[in-house]
C-alpha cells in the first residue's frame, strides 16, 4: 500500500507542476469539440458518441448525395479510422507505413505529407490482424500519429515538421501500435498492441509539449504497476483488494498476460476520468493460464491526471474465446428505471451490450445484442459474471477441447468498429458481426516476437439465421433491447455516424456507403466506393456546405485474406474462410471519398 501512496503523491506533484500547460491545452479541445463544422477527434468529441448536430443533409434530401472529390492514399492494406477536419484542412492517415496527409479543403491540394521510416521486415510480421491504423489526434497545434513501430510522433499541424517523438514499445518483443491517440489536458494518451505475442498491455500518458512520460498503467500485474489502490479502486462497487490481478494468474504467467489496449479511449471532463478497455489474456489457450486473469477483458476508469484507476469491471473472466474488451466506451446521460444516470455504454466482443454508471462503475444493464450468442446465458447482475454454457467452453477441467459452434466467433459480435448514438432518438446504432466459430486450443511456448496464440479457428455465419455475416442494429441501452436490425451479407466493419438530420451513415465490406432513417432503419441512399469500407464515416462543414467523408480500403481482420494474400480457411486466425467471397465484390486500395448535396 505504501508504494501506491508514494506513487500517487509523486504523480500529483508532477500534475501541479504542469498545471498551466494543462489548462490551456484542454480548453482548446473543449471548445473545438463544440463546433459541429469540424471533426477534431476520433469520436467527434470526448464522449465517443460520433453524433453530429449538422442537419443540412437530412433524411429528405440525402438521396441526392453526390461525390464531390476523392483522394487515393497510395497504400493497399486495410484503412480503418477516419479523417480529422480542423478549419480549412483535412488530415488523413494510412495503414502501414502510416503516411499522413494534410489536404486543403479549398482545392484538395496536399499542404504537406509525412512518411515514417519503419522497418517492414521487423514490424509487419508482428502485426496480428492486418497493418491498420485507426487515426490521428490533435492538440496544442500538433497532429499526433501513433506509428506501427510504436513511435508516437508529434507533427506541427501547419507544416508537418516533427516536433518530438517517443518510443512506446519494442516490435522485437511483438509490441506494435494501431490505435488512435487521445489528447486530454496536457497529455497524449496511447496504448499498445500485441496480445497475440505475449505482450503485457498498458496505457501511457505523455506530455503534449515534450513527449515525456507522465504515467503508465499496466492492465495486469502488481498493484503499483497497474496504478490501482486496493482500498479505493472498485469492482462491482467493492474495493478490489490487494494483489487483485496477481492472485488470478498462475505463477508468472501475468508477465505475458496480454490485456493490450489497442481500441478507443473516451474522456469525461466532469469526472476527469479516461475510459477504455483491455484485450485478451495471453495465450488464447485457456488451460495454460488458469484463473480469472484479471484485469484483461476489462473496462478501466482512470484519473486523467494521475492514471490511478477509480473503478474497473471485467466482462469475460478467464477468457476462452478471444473476446477482447477494447471496443469503444460511449458516454451518455440517460434515464434508467426513472433515474437520470451518467452512463457508459459498451458493446463488447463477447456479444453483450453493457450499460454502467460511469461515475461509480455500477452495472446497470447487460444483455445480448445478437440473439445468436450462446457461450453464456446471461450476466449475473450481482456479481457481474457471465453464466457460462459448458458445451461451448474451450477449457474443460484444464483440458484442451475442440469446441464446435461457438457464437460469436473470436472477432466478436462487434469488433473495434465504433457505434454511434443519437440524442434525438435515444438509440445507439451498432455495426455488428453475425459470425460463429469452431475453436481448438493447443499447447504453445513463449518466444519473444513470435506468435503466442495456441488455438486453431474456423468461422462461419450464425446458423438458422439470414445466412449473412453481419447486421446493423438500433439498440436501446436503457433496457438492453434491439429496436430493429438490418441484415448484411458481410460483417459491418465501419464506424457509424448519426446526425441531427435524422440520418445514420455506415459502410459495408463490399464498399457501399449507406444512409438510413434513424427512426425506422429504412435505407435512403447507397453508393459503391472504390474499396471495401472498414473506416469510419465523419462529417464537417466547409464554406457553408456539409460534407460526408469516408475512408475505403478493404482489410482488417475480416479482410485479412485479401490484404495479406492468405488462402487457407483457418488462416488469419480463422477469418479467411468465412470472408473468402469478399474478393467477388471489391479489391484493395485506400481512397477517401467525400460527398455533398448538389450545388
Active-site residue (options: 140, 186, 322, 324): 322
Q: Residue 323: which residues within 8 A CB-CB, separation 6 or more?
A: 280, 297, 315, 316, 348, 349, 350, 351, 408, 410, 412
Q: Count how many Cα atoms sit within 13 Å of the Cα of residue 327 in the half-sphere of its side chain.
A: 33
- Work out the number of other CB atoms within 10 angstroms of the CB of residue 115: 12
Asked if residue 159 lies in contact with residue 112, where contact means CB atoms within 8 angstroms, the answer is yes
State the cell numbers at 343: 452512463
Q: Residue 324: which residues within 8 A CB-CB, separation 6 or more?
A: 195, 263, 277, 278, 279, 280, 297, 349, 412
Q: What is the SS3 assignment for 524?
A: strand
Please give the angle made by the CA atoms of 108, 114 and 118, to the nearest 5 degrees: 140
Q: What is the SS3 assignment for 81?
A: strand
Evaluate the omega torsion of the peptide bond into residue 295 and state whether it is cis, within 30 degrees of 0: yes
State the cell numbers at 520: 425506422
For 185-220, give one letter per residue: b (16+ CB within 10 A) or e.
Answer: bbbbbbbbbbbbbbbbbbbbbbbbeebeebbbbbbb
Q: Is 322 a catalytic residue?
A: yes
Evaluate the omega torsion of the peptide bond into residue 480 and state whether it is cis, within 30 degrees of 0: no
Q: Count how many Cα atoms sit within 13 Å of the Cα of residue 13 in the half-sphere of its side chain.
A: 5
Name the residue among 325, 388, 390, 394 with its Cα closest to residue 353. 325
Please give the angle made by the CA atoms of 132, 138 and 142, to the nearest 5 degrees: 110
State the cell numbers at 377: 446465458
Residues 71 and 63: their CA atoms lie apart, in Å, by 23
What is the dihedral sign for C-alpha 362, 365, 370, 376?
A: positive
355 forms beta bridges with: 345, 365
The cell 458445451 sits on which residue? 391
Q: Residue 129: which residues within 8 A CB-CB, separation 6 or more?
A: 556, 557, 560, 572, 573, 575
Q: What is the SS3 assignment for 409?
A: coil
Residues 486 and 521: their CA atoms lie apart, in Å, by 7
Question: 3-state secondary structure string, 22-69?
Answer: HHHHHHHHHHHCCCCCCECCCCCCCCCCCEECCCCCCCCCHHHCEEEE
Name the residue among 476, 498, 494 with its Cα closest to residue 485. 476
- How far from each other are the two terminal CA atoms of the chain, in whole angstroms? 65
DSSP state of 11: H
Active-site residue list: 322
Amino acid at each position: 500500500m505504501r508504494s501506491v501512496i508514494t506513487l500517487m503523491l509523486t504523480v500529483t506533484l508532477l500534475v501541479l507542476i504542469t498545471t498551466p500547460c494543462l489548462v490551456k491545452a484542454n480548453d482548446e479541445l473543449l471548445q473545438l469539440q463544440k463546433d459541429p463544422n469540424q471533426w477534431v477527434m476520433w469520436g467527434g468529441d470526448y464522449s465517443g458518441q460520433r453524433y453530429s448536430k449538422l442537419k443540412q443533409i437530412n433524411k429528405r434530401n440525402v438521396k441526392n448525395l453526390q461525390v464531390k472529390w476523392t483522394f487515393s492514399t497510395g497504400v493497399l492494406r486495410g484503412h480503418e479510422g477516419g479523417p480529422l477536419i480542423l478549419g480549412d484542412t483535412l488530415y488523413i492517415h494510412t495503414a502501414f507505413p502510416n503516411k499522413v496527409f494534410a489536404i486543403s479543403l479549398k482545392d484538395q491540394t496536399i499542404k504537406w505529407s509525412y512518411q515514417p521510416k519503419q522497418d517492414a521486415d521487423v514490424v509487419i510480421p508482428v502485426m496480428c490482424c492486418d497493418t491498420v491504423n485507426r487515426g490521428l489526434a490533435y492538440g496544442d497545434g500538433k497532429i499526433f500519429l501513433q506509428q506501427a513501430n510504436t513511435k508516437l510522433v508529434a507533427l506541427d499541424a501547419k507544416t508537418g515538421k516533427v516536433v518530438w517523438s517517443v518510443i512506446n514499445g519494442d516490435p522485437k518483443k511483438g509490441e506494435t501500435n494501431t490505435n488512435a491517440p487521445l489528447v486530454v489536458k496536457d497529455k497524449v494518451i496511447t496504448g499498445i498492441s500485441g496480445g497475440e505475442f505475449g505482450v503485457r498491455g498498458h496505457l501511457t500518458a505523455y506530455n503534449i509539449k515534450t513527449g515525456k512520460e507522465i504515467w503508465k498503467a499496466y492492465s495486469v500485474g502488481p498493484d503499483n504497476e497497474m496504478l490501482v489502490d486496493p482500498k479505493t479502486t472498485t469492482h462491482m462497487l467493492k474495493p478490489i483488494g490487494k494483489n487483485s490481478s496477481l492472485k488470478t494468474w498462475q505463477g508468472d504467467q501475468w508477465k505475458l498476460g496480454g490485456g493490450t489496449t489497442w481500441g478507443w479511449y473516451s474522456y469525461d471532463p466532469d469526472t476527469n476520468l479516461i475510459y477504455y478497455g483491455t484485450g485478451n489474456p495471453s495465450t488464447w489457450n485457456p488451460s495454460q493460464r488458469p484463473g480469472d486473469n484479471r484485469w484483461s477483458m476489462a473496462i478501466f476508469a482512470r484519473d486523467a491526471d494521475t492514471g490511478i484507476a477509480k473503478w474497473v469491471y471485467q466482462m469475460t473472466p478467464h477468457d476462452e474465446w478471444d473476446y477482447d474488451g477494447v471496443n469503444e466506451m460511449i458516454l451518455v446521460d440517460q434515464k434508467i428505471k426513472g433515474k437520470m444516470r451518467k452512463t457508459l455504454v459498451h458493446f463488447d466482443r463477447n456479444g453483450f451490450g453493457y450499460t454502467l454508471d460511469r461515475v461509480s462503475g455500477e452495472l446497470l444493464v447487460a444483455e445480448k445484442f445478437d440473439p445468436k450468442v450462446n457461450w453464456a446465458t446471461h450476466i449475473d447482475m450481482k456479481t457481474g459474471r457471465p453464466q457460462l454454457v459448458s458445451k461451448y467452453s474451450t477449457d474443460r477441467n484444464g483440458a484442451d477441447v475442440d469446441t464446435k459452434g461457438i457464437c460469436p466467433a473470436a472477432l466478436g459480435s462487434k469488433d473495434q468498429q465504433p457505434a454511434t448514438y443519437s440524442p434525438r432518438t435515444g438509440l445507439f446504432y451498432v455495426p455488428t458481426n453475425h459470425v460463429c466459430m469452431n475453436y481448438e486450443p493447443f499447447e504453445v511456448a513463449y518466444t519473444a516476437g513470435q506468435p503466442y496464440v495456441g488455438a486453431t479457428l474456423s468461422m462461419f455465419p450464425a446458423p438458422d439465421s439470414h445466412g449473412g455475416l453481419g447486421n446493423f442494429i438500433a439498440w436501446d441501452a436503457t433496457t438492453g433491447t434491439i429496436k430493429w436490425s438490418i441484415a448484411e451479407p458481410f460483417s459491418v466493419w465501419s464506424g457509424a455516424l448519426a446526425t441531427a438530420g435524422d440520418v445514420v451513415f455506415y459502410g459495408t465490406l463490399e464498399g457501399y456507403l449507406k444512409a438510413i432513417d434513424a427512426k425506422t432503419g429504412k435505407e435512403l441512399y447507397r453508393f459503391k466506393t472504390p474499396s471495401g469500407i472498414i473506416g469510419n464515416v465523419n462529417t464537417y462543414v466547409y464554406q457553408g456546405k456539409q460534407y460526408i467523408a469516408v475512408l475505403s480500403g478493404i482489410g482488417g481482420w475480416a479482410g485479412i485474406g485479401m490484404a495479406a494474400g492468405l488462402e487457407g480457411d483457418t488462416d488469419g486466425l480463422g477469418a479467411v474462410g468465412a470472408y473468402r467471397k469478399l474478393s467477388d465484390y471489391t479489391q484493395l486500395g485506400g481512397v477517401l471519398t467525400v460527398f455533398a448535396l448538389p450545388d
